[in-house]
Amino acid sequence: MARVCDITGKRPRVGNNVSHANNKTKRKFYPNLQKKRFYIPEEDKWITLKVSTSAIRTINKNGITEVLKKARKNGNVLV
């Protein structure tokens, strides 16, 4: 499975490890993804999403239905 957030679309970024001698080697910065279950009362069902921790904070603040509505509008979520 891909390391992509289902809500925000965050994915691994590419950067450099930089040594003290200023040698540069490629590396990846992975998003902090968590597998989490959410209950949707309107549909009376549970869904499992792979979301970043910042997306979990957004869901806690705005609610899962509002966040899913925005994500579907942006084309990020398929659930």
Residues 13-31 pLDDT 10s: 999 999 999 999 999 999 9
Query: Is there a domain that residue 56 lies in?
Result: yes
Residue 7 belongs to a domain: no
C-beta separation of 47 from 38 below 8 A: yes
Instruction: Give CA–CA dist 45/4, Å, rounded.
Output: 23
Give the range of the structural domain holding residue 52, as residue numbers without chain letter. 13-74
76 by Cβ neighbours in 10 Å (0-12 / 13-18 / 19+) ranks as middle
Report if residue 41 sits inside a domain: yes
In a domain, 68, yes or no: yes
**Structure confidence by residue, pLDDT tens digits, 29-72:** 999 999 999 999 999 999 999 999 999 999 999 999 999 999 88
Is residue 30 domain-resident? yes
Give the Å distances, CA to CA, from 21 to 8, 26, 44. 37, 15, 58
Q: How far apart are CA 37 and CA 55, in angstroms?
A: 13
Domain assignment of residue 65, yes or no? yes
Q: Provide the number of structural domains found in the chain.
A: 1
